Amino acid sequence: MRIALFVTCVNDTLFPGTGKAVVRLLRRLGHTVDFPLQQTCCGQMHHNTGYKALPMVGPFLDTFEGYDAVVVPSASCAAMVREVYPRLAAGDPALAARVAALRVHELSELLVDVLGVTDVGAYFPHTVTYHPTCHSLRGLRVGSRPTDLLRAVRGLTLVDLPAADECCGFGGTFAVKNPAVSAAMCADKIGHVLNTGAEVLCAADNSCLMHLGGSLTRQRTGVRVLHLAEILAAT
């Protein structure tokens, strides 16, 4: 299968290891992975802050249409393309048809639903807890796909995160506009993470892990944060 990687702005800028892990993982499973160099932002940042994101739709289509699948190591950005692009393109039938033809998948969706694999051959001998980010849980509704993948990793012990469905408090610009509330929500989430005794906090969105990881580091907890892709690519 010819798969294109849409790496996303946060990953490309702050967590390049995640994109590399996706490529390593998919190639190990026998797939061709392209990284179109002309790719740019999906427009979620513009959309969430009240600006018109429609001009971002055309360039995304020009870059990614024609691939068998587009993989996105971010539930947040995958939800932008899957859920918001159709609404943005609704007034232009030709554009709407191009959007409908896109095959965009968050990483766990691609692995489980499209490629039909749960055991990706990974080995990660650590205790891990999983935070289902808001866009993966309530947007894309990926359900148990990420934890099913983690449970199949050899050597990995997965421990449940208390109050896992509660937001971490990041929410993109929410953390900027409401810093006190955001910090309080982050503190609650960190408390739950520490109560698990896990060595690693995992999620499908590095934006949330950036928020939580900053607090974990400042408190010198010793808990690492890792994107799902980096654990699944480990051997």
153-186, pLDDT tens digit by residue? Answer: 999 999 999 999 999 999 878 888 899 999 999 9
Mean per-residue pLDDT over the chain, rounded: 95
Res 51: pLDDT: 83
Give the predicted TM-score (pTM) of the model: 0.94
Res 49: pLDDT: 83
- pLDDT at residue 48 above 90? no
Beta carbons within 10 angstroms of residue 78's beta carbon:
30
Res 1: pLDDT: 84
Secondary structure (DSSP) of 119-164: ----B--SEEEE---HIIIIIS--TTHHHHHHHTSBT-EEEPPTTT
Res 155: pLDDT: 98
